[in-house]
Amino acid sequence: MQDRYTGDIGDYVKYGLLRALADGRRLGVAWYLFADAGHNDDGRHVDYLHDHGQWRGHDPALFDVLKRIVGDDRRNVAAVEQSGILGATKFSGEILSAPELTPAQRHDWRGWWFKDVQTSLQECDKGNIIGAA
């Protein structure tokens, strides 16, 4: 996941699914965050936000929040968290960036990262920790 993708069509589908799953549960979302890579035009898939007739009816509240986030140029996961659109969901997500590490060190670092995620999301309903990519 990179902040520059926030609000794209993939997010609309993922967050809609999370909203359906969250009914009566305390979900945990582990953002698998990478620093934005500006080398291409990925993240531009937001045309659906201009097609209210086809897309808004699936989840009007979510559609409106993502349209506002994209329109206000606040495309980052923090804006999604702050919007409250995912209810009482708890979030965890340190940026995964360790370019100076060897592959073996990176493996260990990711193990530490996952343990930290599990600790920070332990108050969520069991079996409801979902990784967002």
Higher-pLDDT residue of 113 and 38 is: 113
Q: What is the rounded radius of gyration, in angstroms, for the C-alpha atoms of the chain? A: 16
Q: Total domain count for the chain?
A: 1
Average pLDDT over residues 85-110: 84
Q: What percent of the chain has pLDDT over 90?
A: 50
CA distance 77 to 91: 10
Residue 63 structural domain? 3-132
What's the pLDDT tens digit per position in 19-74?
998 888 889 999 888 777 666 665 578 999 999 999 999 999 999 999 999 999 99
Taking the C-alpha atoms of residue 6 and residue 12, their distance in angstroms, rounded to an integer, is 9
